[in-house]
């Protein structure tokens, strides 16, 4: 061995020793993330809210992530939100809502997947999650058209001031009678996907109404799952997708956070009573969560709160003791649907239902005279 070779060998040994002694090397689930750069994120405007897609990654992959953000991920978000929107040009929901009772419509594979999950959630929650409540949502003033500054009454049941005037009882009952989602069939045949609208009709003041879909209670969760899947398929296993702070799909965390285990994200859940404050800290890795509640979109008339979640058993905004519910588990779409259902069901039935949902945990803020109590079996703690 020449002198030079010995020198290189010694240098290599020194580097190896140094690396093994270095306390700053971080390995998460078998991946060395020591040189992963600080978290990189981008935001989008879809579903009338903000979506954040955030990743830790080695610097060499930054361009690849950027092209995914601007390409496949943006396209997917755009595709899902337009297919499920109430009024988009190529929206399957809009086409369904405009169709006659009993009509069969061909739908996109994405819509089929969302509807299949919605059917599952409808059945799992004994109908508390119900995607066929669009007319009731609209009647109570919670469709997207009411968020626009130029709202003016255009439907027979519209009120000039929908936040201070209650709808007519005849509409509440008629729209409730159209919300039987079990009468709506979803199926695959050949290479196509189809939906057959329920044959129910209801007439009020000479106008005939048919069933209408609203997939806002599951669409954001579905989109969070879809984007996380794109990231994973492309080798990005560290990061998260957050849609409107209500549905999140989390992968691994490349940084150790105080109180959390290596790889876990700390996710704080907003307080239902104190604006900008959190009431629960949860720890999540390679999983999802969704939050619903009556504290973000609501109005009050005569001391009663009317929120955007409709009780499918009364046709009115829900009135249970659940101020907010978060559900944690593998599918963000199902977490999204379950968290809405938990609000409708109230704490007792929600906890009973949770016992049957394998792999899903919850945190629920239950209204009390003093404020609220917390019921939870999720990994985390009250703060």
Handedness of CA 193, 233, 241, 322 (dihedral sign): positive
Check residue 91 for interaction with ligand ADP (CB under 6 A): no
H or E segment to which residue 375 belongs: strand 372-376
**Binding pattern to Mg ion, positions 266-295, x when CB under 5 A?**
--------------------------x---
216 binds, among Mg ion, ligand ADP, none (CB under 5 to 8 A by kind): ligand ADP
**Binding pattern to ligand ADP, positions 292-321, x when CB under 6 A?**
x---------------xxx-x---------
Check residue 141 for interaction with ligand ADP (CB under 6 A): no
Q: Which stretch binds Mg ion (CB under 5 A): 56-64, 230-238, 267-275, 337-345?
A: 337-345
**Binding pattern to ligand ADP, positions 96-125, x when CB under 6 A?**
------------------------------
Handedness of CA 105, 108, 111, 112 (dihedral sign): positive
Q: In this chain, which of 86, 216, 282, 367 binds ligand ADP, going by CB under 6 A?
A: 216
Q: Which alpha helices (H) appear in 178-243, and where do they start and end?
A: 216-233
Contact 328, 284 (CB under 8 A): yes
Q: Which residues contact 264 (CB under 8 A, 6 or more apart)?
A: 253, 257, 283, 284, 285
Phi, psi of 183 (to 5 degrees): -85, 5
Contact 58, 36 (CB under 8 A): yes
Contact 88, 82 (CB under 8 A): yes
Check residue 217 for interaction with Mg ion (CB under 5 A): yes
Q: Which stretch binds ligand ADP (CB under 6 A): 57-65, 127-135, 277-285, 347-355?
A: 127-135
Which residues face 32 on adjacent strands? 27
Check residue 329 for interaction with Mg ion (CB under 5 A): no
Closest CA to 339 of 263, 244, 260: 244
Q: State the nearest-atom distance from the C-beta of 292 to Mg ion, in Å.
A: 5
Count the site residues for ligand ADP by CB under 6 A.
19
Contact 323, 294 (CB under 8 A): yes
Check residue 131 for interaction with Mg ion (CB under 5 A): no
Check residue 353 for interaction with ligand ADP (CB under 6 A): no
Number of H helices, E strands in the chain: 10, 22
Q: Which residues contact 232 (CB under 8 A, 6 or more apart)?
A: 251
Check residue 329 for interaction with ligand ADP (CB under 6 A): no
Q: In this chain, which of 56, 69, 96, 129 binds ligand ADP, going by CB under 6 A?
A: 129
Residues forming the site for Mg ion (CB under 5 A): 217, 292, 336, 340
Residues forming the site for ligand ADP (CB under 6 A): 129-131, 133, 137, 142, 214, 216-217, 220, 246, 292, 308-310, 312, 336, 340, 344
């Amino acid at each position: 061995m020449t002198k030079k070779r010995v020198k290189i060998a010694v240098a290599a040994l020194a580097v190896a020793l140094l690396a093994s002694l270095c306390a700053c090397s971080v390995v998460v689930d078998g991946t060395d993330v020591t040189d992963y750069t600080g978290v990189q994120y981008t935001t989008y405007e879809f579903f009338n809210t903000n979506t954040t897609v955030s990743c830790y990654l080695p610097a060499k992959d930054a361009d690849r992530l950027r092209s995914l953000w601007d390409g496949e991920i943006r396209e997917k978000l755009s595709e899902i939100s337009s297919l499920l929107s109430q009024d988009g040009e190529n929206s399957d929901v809009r086409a369904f809502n405009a169709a006659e009772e009993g009509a069969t419509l061909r739908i996109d594979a994405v819509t089929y997947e969302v509807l299949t999950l919605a059917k599952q959630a409808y059945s799992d929650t004994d109908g508390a999650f119900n995607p066929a409540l669009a007319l009731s949502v609209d009647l109570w003033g919670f469709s997207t058209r009411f968020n626009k500054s130029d709202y003016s009454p255009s439907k027979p049941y519209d009120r000039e001031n929908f936040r201070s005037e209650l709808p007519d009882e005849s509409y509440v009952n008629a729209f409730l009678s159209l919300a039987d989602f079990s009468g709506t069939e979803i199926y695959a045949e050949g290479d196509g996907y189809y939906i057959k609208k329920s044959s129910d009709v209801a007439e009020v003041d000479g106008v005939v109404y048919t069933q209408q879909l609203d997939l806002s209670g599951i669409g954001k969760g579905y989109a969070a799952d879809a984007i996380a899947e794109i990231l994973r398929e492309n080798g990005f296993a560290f990061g998260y997708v957050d849609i409107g702070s209500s549905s999140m799909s989390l992968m691994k965390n490349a940084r150790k956070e105080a109180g959390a285990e290596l790889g876990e994200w700390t996710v704080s859940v907003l307080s239902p009573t104190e604006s900008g404050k959190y009431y629960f800290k949860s720890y999540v890795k390679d999983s999802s969560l969704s939050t619903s509640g009556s504290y973000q979109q609501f109005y009050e008339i005569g001391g009663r709160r009317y929120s955007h979640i409709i009780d499918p058993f009364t046709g009115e905004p829900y009135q249970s003791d659940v101020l907010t519910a978060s559900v944690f588990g593998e599918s963000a779409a199902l977490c999204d649907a379950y968290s809405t259902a938990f609000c409708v069901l109230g704490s007792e039935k929600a906890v009973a239902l949770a016992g049957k949902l394998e792999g899903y945990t919850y945190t629920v803020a239950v209204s009390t005279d003093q404020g609220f109590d917390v019921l939870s079996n999720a990994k985390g703690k009250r703060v």
